[in-house]
Amino acid sequence: MGLPAAHLHPNEQIVVDLHPHWWFMASRTLLLVAAMALGGVALAVQPEGTFGTVVGVAVALVILAALGAFLLRLLEWRSTNFVVTTDRCIYRAGVFAKTGVEIPLERINTVFFNQSVGERLLKAGDLGIESAGEFGRQTFSDIKDPVLVQNMIYRQIEENENRKYDRIGGEARQAAEAAAGSTLSVAEQLEKLADLRDRGVITSEEFEAQKARLLGA
């Protein structure tokens, strides 16, 4: 089950939505397989009489316990999501009680990963995020291909910065056009435009274009 669209901000898009790596299920899967193998052996050599019945019941209980542990782990796997969007990183976990972490992209300082030799072969590992937020550093385990996810987060940080500057540039141009189209005198409008340029709100090229427009009017 992925992150519901209702939990996204306006214009926010999901880049990747990951459940934990399948290694997350390995221990419970091996436990279930071992319990079923034990059951097969018990059926093959089951003694006669009451003792055999007791052994059969005990083995059946072991198999049921292993199956229950496996299904619970499967529910945990399905209810755990690591999501990268165009605005933030989101982590959700928990079958009944839920926990979650959200880290805005603009607050992320460093993204690092950790893989053992075995995890590297399996393309699994831990991903850590250091941010300027309240919790500082968060570590997320059993991430699929953490190297790829790390690169993806950095790419989204860069694109988020570009969108922010584009938005600021658009607002600056609107401010410049509003100043140029106001009822102020040409000298006053030029003064306002120069102030916008000096504060870095508009570029020198935009200033010169608006200046030429005013002086040519």
CA distance 217 to 212: 8
Residue 15 CB burial class (10 angstroms; 0-12, 13-18, ≥19): middle
CA distance 201 to 217: 24
Give the Cβ contact number of residue 20 at 10 Å: 20
Would you list the domain boundaries of the chain? 11-154, 155-216
3-state helix, strand, coil split of the chain in percent (to 5) is: 60, 20, 20
What pTM was estimated for this model as a whole? 0.68
Q: What is the pLDDT of residue 173?
A: 60
* Residue 207 contacts residue 197 (beta carbons within 8 Å): yes
* Residue 109 contacts residue 154 (beta carbons within 8 Å): no
Q: Which own/partner pairs from 179-182 qualify as long-range (CB within 8 Å, at least 24 positions apart)?
A: 179/210, 180/210, 180/213, 180/214
Helices (H), 45-185: 49-78, 117-122, 146-180
CA proximity to 185, closest of 156, 209, 215: 215
Alpha-carbon torsion angle 191, 195, 201, 203, nearest 10: 70
How long a stretch of residues is the chain? 217
How would you classify the pairing of strands 124-131 and 108-114?
A: antiparallel
Q: What is the pLDDT of residue 130?
A: 92
Q: What is the pLDDT of residue 98?
A: 85
Sheet architecture: strand order including 14-18: 14-18, 81-85, 88-93, 99-104
Cα 200-206-208 angle, rounded to 5 deg: 110
Q: How far is CA 104 from the centre of its chain?
A: 10
Question: Which of the listed CATH numbers 3.30.310, 2.30.29, 2.60.40, 1.20.120 matches domain 11-154?
Answer: 2.30.29
Q: What is the pLDDT of residue 170?
A: 59
Residue 138, classed as helix, strand or coil, is strand
The pLDDT profile of the chain, 217 residues, written as one tens digit per residue, is 677 777 788 888 999 999 999 999 999 999 999 999 988 888 777 777 777 778 888 889 999 999 999 999 999 999 999 999 999 999 999 888 888 889 999 899 999 999 999 999 999 999 999 988 666 789 999 999 999 999 999 999 988 888 776 666 555 566 655 555 555 677 777 888 888 788 777 778 778 887 887 777 5
